[in-house]
Amino acid sequence: MSTSSALDTTEFERMLRSYHAGDPYIRKIADEQAVILDEINAEADVARRSALLKDFFKVEGDEAEKQKARVVIVPPFFCEYGFNIIIGGDLFIHKGCTILDVGPVRIGARTLIGPNVQIYTPTHPLSPEERNGLDGPEASKPIIIGKDCWIGGGTIILPGVTIGDGVTVGAGSVVTKDVESRTVVAGNPARFIKSV
């Protein structure tokens, strides 16, 4: 991520609280990251794409663990920044995944994410006057997905949700609240099905 001293960084630093998404500095960073992501999506060689992704995301662990980590994403993949996504090793994300990483998104090792999964950290005021269309404030809430999870295709994970280790989320679910480790949840909103 490059920075520019000519632009005001205040809104970028406020992203975890409340900020304005149209701020020129934030837009500049998002545009720069979009160029890098386009190159990653266009890379046909799986090993090369994996290496690019490990530089684009934050990989947990030391340099040796980072090199050993396997990161497989079937393009197209979309996110806003990339550097707000923290991953463990051996991550698989299927085609069409969208991660709105205004706030941090942590994904544990050996997690599998199905096609067309949507992970959203941004939030907006509920009052339409305060929301004020494109010019209003936004905020974000971090999302945590544990190790050894399986997130079924078409799942939507909402801001502030923590999903424990070893969780299976049924396809098409909308996860609106925290999920305990080693459970299966499904539905809209996602509900407990069983422990595993």
Given the residues 66, 110, 124, 141, select the one marked as catalytic: 124
Q: Which two tokens stand for residue 67?
A: 């090199």
Q: Which of 137, 140, 136, 162 is nearest to 149 (CA)?
A: 162
Active site residue 124: yes
Q: What whole-number distance in Å separates Cα of residue 157 and Cα of residue 16?
A: 18
User: What is the Cβ-side half-sphere exposure of residue 163, based on CA atoms within 13 angstroms?
Assistant: 34
DSSP symbols for 97-160: -EEE-SS-EEE-TT-EE-TT-EEE-EE--SSHHHHTGGGS-EEE--EEE-TT-EE-TT-EE-TT
Query: Tokens standing for 192?
Result: 């407990």
What sign for the dihedral angle of Cα 57, 61, 62, 63?
negative
Residues serving a catalytic function are 124
